[in-house]
Amino acid sequence: MTGNKLNLHKNKLNLFLFKLSIFLFLIISLPSYSQENLIYNPSFEQYLACPQKIEPYGYMSQAMAWWQPTGGSADYYNKCGAKQTSIPKNKLGIQMPRTGVGMVGIYTSKTTYREYIQTELKEYLEEGRTYKLTFYVSLSEFSSGAIATIGGLFTSNRIAEDTREMLTEKNIIKYDNGVSQSISTYLKPQVVNSFDNPITDVENWIKIEGEFIAKGGEKFLTIGNFYPAQQSNVVDLPYLTYLLPGAYYYIDDVSVICLDCQNKIEYDNNITITKTKNEPQYEVGQVVIMENIFFEFDKSVLLPQSYVELHNLINLLEKYPSMQIELSGHTDNKGSDRYNNNLSQNRVKAVYDYLTSQGIDSNRLRYKWYGAKQPIDDNKTEEGRAKNRRVEFKILEL
């Protein structure tokens, strides 16, 4: 081989190694947005209080970022819980969490009774993107049977129903003569365990997993059984103790990840750079309504549905360490002025206390309360009153 040919090969090799080093640097140094879990508190480790007992008509209010969307009383279990809600042995079965010290349980069920759990995602799902939902379940040996069709439903709006039976979608059909009829149809979860594979294991955790393409705008995940018993593949098992009237499952380790959410820009020489998402802009004097802050009725006790909104604010304050804000509490016009002033004061103080308990310096926070004096909508309608019951923050320094 001549010297010129040898130099040519060396130059090509050096160029290839240079391109490879740039590619590897970009892969290592740039964040992988596509693998971020969009679920807060995915294994139920964070809680407002240790669970105390199983209540037939109670509601799951201890696990942060999770709640029950219907009248069916889902249950929270933790190592710190009392006898009925402890781990591994509790009132409704015996099971260790798949990871950590927390888990939840629901009837799914072999009867008409249903329980569901719901959470708010960290961000809206993007239209046309492919997502993967994964969670794990284990059947309680106290059940009277097992089913197959446990799944996950993604919706744009929060589900809030009083029913203790299967969730359905209520459609209003209008006819030309002015007559309308309400018809309930089955909800269609994007991910569901196969009908041919009943979940019968009472010792191990069984993975439920599936991929789907988002329509866009989905923000809430609800987990449970969305099918009637005759379409759920109900099976009876000889090793169950039949202490419970249905199929009861523990749930742990929930994840939602996007499989193709990296926006990539192609450059010459086959080099690809990942483009990060556009960040919202903030300015001094800007007022932001915290639309998803929830309290117990007529009280100042924060509900777990508030977790996502609160931690979005915490993340914002951590990203902008010089930011200072003023929180403000507001109510609708029901009740006396004194009552509304006290309620708005106690509620905004609860938000302030939560932020400081999570490590936000109190010097960066102020709070005021206004009762019903600053409505943003008409108090004559329930929708308007709901908008007026709010917590806001105003950016004082940035």
- pTM of the prediction? 0.78
Q: Is the model's pLDDT at 320 over the cut of 90? A: yes
Q: Is 367 contained in some domain?
A: yes
User: Whole-angstrom Cα distance, residue 282 to residue 197?
Assistant: 50
Same domain, 238 and 105: yes
Burial class (CB in 10 A: 0-12, 13-18, 19+), 125: buried
Residue whose C-alpha is closest to residue 303's, from 294, 314, 292: 294
Q: Which two tokens stand for residue 304?
A: 């777990």
Same domain, 80 and 215: yes
Confidence of residue 182 (pLDDT cuts 50, 70, 90): low
Q: Is 2 contained in some domain?
A: no
Tell me the pairing of strands 324-330 and 365-369. Answer: parallel
- Structural domain that includes position 74: 66-258
The answer to whether residues 327 and 351 touch, using CB atoms and an 8 Å cutoff, is yes
Q: Running DSSP on this structure, what letter comes out for residue 344?
A: H
Same domain, 356 and 220: no
Cα 366 from chain centroid (whole Å) = 29
Domain end marker among 214, 242, 258: 258
Task: Give 367's strand partners.
Answer: 327
User: Whole-angstrom Cα distance, residue 210 to residue 134?
Assistant: 7
Same domain, 90 and 138: yes
Taking only the tens place, the pLDDT of each residue in 22-75 is 444 444 444 444 489 999 999 999 998 899 999 888 888 899 999 999 999 999
Same domain, 184 and 292: no
CATH of the domain at 373: 3.30.1330.60
- Tokens 């639309």 belong to 291
Residue 56 has a pLDDT of 85
289 contacts: CB under 8 Å, gap ≥ 6: 376, 390, 391, 392
Taking only the tens place, the pLDDT of each residue in 92-122 is 999 999 999 999 999 998 888 999 999 999 9
User: Whole-angstrom Cα distance, residue 385 to residue 334?
Assistant: 9
Residue whose C-alpha is closest to residue 286's, from 398, 394, 397, 365: 394
Residue 272 has a pLDDT of 45
Same domain, 110 and 247: yes
Q: Is 58 contained in some domain?
A: no
Same domain, 335 and 244: no
CATH of the domain at 89: 2.60.120
Q: Is 295 contained in some domain?
A: yes
Same domain, 97 and 149: yes
User: Whole-angstrom Cα distance, residue 330 to residue 367?
Assistant: 11
Q: Is 27 contained in some domain?
A: no
Residue 279 has a pLDDT of 64
Same domain, 106 and 233: yes
Same domain, 248 and 382: no
Q: Is 243 contained in some domain?
A: yes
Alpha carbons within 13 A on the beta-carbon side of 210: 16
Domains: count for the chain: 2
Taking only the tens place, the pLDDT of each residue in 257-298 is 999 986 544 444 455 444 445 567 889 999 999 988 988 888
Q: Is 106 contained in some domain?
A: yes
Q: Is 60 contained in some domain?
A: no
Same domain, 234 and 298: no
The answer to whether residues 148 and 206 touch, using CB atoms and an 8 Å cutoff, is no
Same domain, 164 and 219: yes
